Amino acid sequence: MKHYFVTGIGTGIGKTIVSAILTETLKADYWKPIQAGELDNSDSMKVHSLISNKTSFIHSEAYRLSKSMSPHAAAKTDKITIDLKKIKTPNTSKTLIIEGAGGVMVPLNNKQLVIDLIIKLKAEVILVVQNYLGSINHTLLTYEALKSRKIPIAGIVFNGKPTPSSEEFILRYTGLKCILRVNVEKIIGPKTIVKYSKQVKL
C-alpha cells in the first residue's frame, strides 16, 4: 500500500490537521516517527481524537523527545542521537499517513535531515502550504529540494485563509495539483475532519 509523508513549508502550519483528514479519508493508519515536545498532548493523540473511523491504527513513535525544539537539538537535550537506521516503517496492510517534524530541511542529527527520512521511508510527499509573507519562496524552495532528490510529490494542501494569487502561482510553477483546501475554522473536531475528508482529491 502507499505511504504518504505529510510535510510542510514550516512549523505550525497544519500538518497534524491535514494528517487527520487524510487518515479519515483513506481509512489509513497514522504514524509520527519523531515527536518533539508536547508528549502529554502529542500529534498522535490529536489525530486519534479527531478521526471517526474505527479501522485506522495509530502507530507508536520511534522517538519521543521531551523538548519542543528541532529534533536534533531536542535529542541532544535528552542525551540521545536520532538514528535513521532504527526508524522502521510500521507493519501494516493499509495506506500509511506519516507526519513529519517541521519542514524537509529540519535536522534530525548532525548530518541528516527530514528529507533523508522521506527517502529512507520511500514515501510520496503531500505538501502543506499556508499563506504568509515569504510563503511562496518557502514553498518553491521545498518543491525544488524534493524535486532535486527525485522524491515523488502527490500534491499540495492549502491551509488557512485563501490567497488565490499565491496559490495559482504555486500550482502553475510547480505543476502540482491541489489535493485539498482547508479554510480557517473556529473549532476543529471530528465533524470538521469528516467534512474535509469528503473533499480530498488524491
Q: Is 86 a catalytic residue?
A: no
Three-state SS for 7-54 is EECCCCCCHHHHHHHHHHHHCCEEECCEEECCHHHCHHHHHHHHCCCC
Q: The dihedral of CA 76, 80, 85, 90: what is its sign?
A: negative
H or E segment at 159? strand 153-159
For residue 6, name the pLDDT band (cuts at 50, 70, 90).
very high
Of the residues 32, 120, 122, 201, only one is catalytic, namely 32
Model pLDDT, residue 60: 96
- Tens digits of residue pLDDT in 19-67: 999 999 999 999 999 999 989 999 999 999 999 999 999 999 999 999 9
Which residue type sits at 33?
Answer: P
- Tens digits of residue pLDDT in 156-170: 999 999 999 999 999
Model pLDDT, residue 10: 85
- Tens digits of residue pLDDT in 56-96: 999 999 999 999 999 999 999 999 999 999 999 999 999 99
Model pLDDT, residue 11: 83
CATH topology for 3-197 is: Rossmann fold (3.40.50)
